[in-house]
Amino acid sequence: MSHCWPCLLITPLVLIGLVSFYFVYVFYLKSPPPLPSFDLEEWWGPTRSRVQDTSIRPFTIRFEDAMIKDLKHRLKNHRPWTPGLQGVGFQYGFNHDQLPGWINYWAEQYNFTEREKFLNQFPQYKTNIQGLDVHFIRVKPKVPDGTETVPMLLMHGWPGSVREFYEALPLLTAVSKDRDFAIEAIIPSLPGYGFSDASVRPGLGAAQVAIVLRNLMRRLGFKTFYIQGGDWGSFIGAEMATIFPEEILGFHNNLPVASSSKANLLTLLGSLYPPLIVDSHLQDRMYPLSKAIAYQLQEFGYSHIQATKPDTLGVGLSDSPTGLLVYILEKFSTWTLTEYRDEADGGLGMWDKDKLLDNIMLYWSSGCITSSMRFYAENNNVTYWSLGLSEIPTPVPMWGLQAKNELAFQPPALLRFKYPNLVRTNPLEVGGHFIALELPELFAKDVLSAVAEFRSLRLAHLSKHEL
């Protein structure tokens, strides 16, 4: 058998050539797409009336007696659960042997009256934006002379809610002699979450929600403001900073990710030689890629079904409080620390039960689980991807807080493709996905440090341009 040695070399040479050309194209020839044109008044509610209600109305969370009675009945009258497998923790999902403790606590020990009072401790409102009644918390501190009040929009994700910020709120809005500013916090329930209306038609993705929330801030009188976000709040914040860069003064991001083609390509190249893009002590948060891919395959099935069939899944979760409980709690287990899968209680013992049940009550009492899951479908489709917003850099200063056990990690070398004015990243040695709820003091301190730095940089920028 004869061999054509030049022929054997052609395939690898062609492959190397194609890869090299793609690299040159992505990094040197490909330009960011233009910013798409958006309808800033696009209507998402029922038929539009001639006169829009622009009032801002006080709102109070109510756990009605009929709802509580029905909830307890559903919790106590269920079919027998399948016994958990011997010797497993949460490797198969929520361990059924842990169900009686949670169900009994929710039905018998969770004090609905006291928790309702707790959830109403901060001023809450509703206002109609683009056809949707948007629920939000607003805490405005009383400040002495010489202290400036600065507005910040804080955005949650799934399966979280405004409840994530309750412990951090007093710290964020506190007045301190060590600062010349205090934060006025505006925390909305995302459309389709909690007590905010869901869209009646498809298409309300992260960019469209960014517009709704920007318009909420305009309704409240703020033409410029700071933003903070994690989970979906991180993605909405990225879109807001891209669409309205002149209005966003700074972005505190506790899930900082750049999803551009440059960042993705460099991530692949970095797998061959990690020091190319990430410090040695942080390499295990990204590499080996096989570990990251295995984690995605094992833990992100929920994302696929919510992005494709949210309404099917929503039927069971809307009808069964036990189903809703285990579906959400399982995320608070694994997303806090992956190794909690191996513990009998899923590591949920580290959480205060009332905290987690408060969050679940905001889903159950409002009946929003289906509409909340639809957000995955609205952001994972060709129409939304074709907007190309991830490829457009934003000049907005960004500060990244990176919990040790967060779902994703990127170093500054990648983040700067999206955020060229990256101020700082703060990679922690503690914490998980729900960092504001888990470590409120640390979270609040980091947010305040970020705002202080944003203000300092802006002052230096303005002074420079006045010279």
State the catalytic residues.
231, 376, 433
What kind and span of H or E run contains 227?
A: strand 225-229
Per-residue b or e along 52-65, where b marks 16 or more CB atoms closer than 10 Å to that residue's CB: eeeeeeebebebee
Buried b (16+ CB within 10 A) or exposed e, 332-368: bbbbbbbebbebebbbbeebebbbbbbbbbbbbbbeb
DSSP string over 292-357: HHHHHHHH-HHHHHHHH-HHHHHHHHHH-HHHHHHHHHHHHHHTT-GGGGGSTTTTGGGS-HHHHH
Query: Are the C-beta atoms of residues 395 and 368 closer than 8 Å to each other?
Result: no
**Residue 107 DSSP label:** I
Query: Which residues, in sequence order, are bridge partners of residue 148?
Result: 181
Residues 286/294, Cβ–Cβ less than 8 Å: no
Coil, helix or strand for 114?
Answer: helix
- Using a 10 angstrom Cβ sphere, with 0-12 exposed, 13-18 middle and 19 or more buried, the burial of residue 404 is middle
Cβ atoms 320, 326 nearer than 8 A: no
CA 407 to chain centre: 11
**In terms of residues, how long is the chain?**
467
Structure tokens belonging to residue 134: 């948007």
- What number of other Cβ atoms are within 10 A of residue 28's Cβ? 7
**Alpha helices (H) along 127-174:** 169-172
What is the spatial distance between Cα 340 and Cα 347, in angstroms, rounded to a whole number?
5
SS3 241: helix
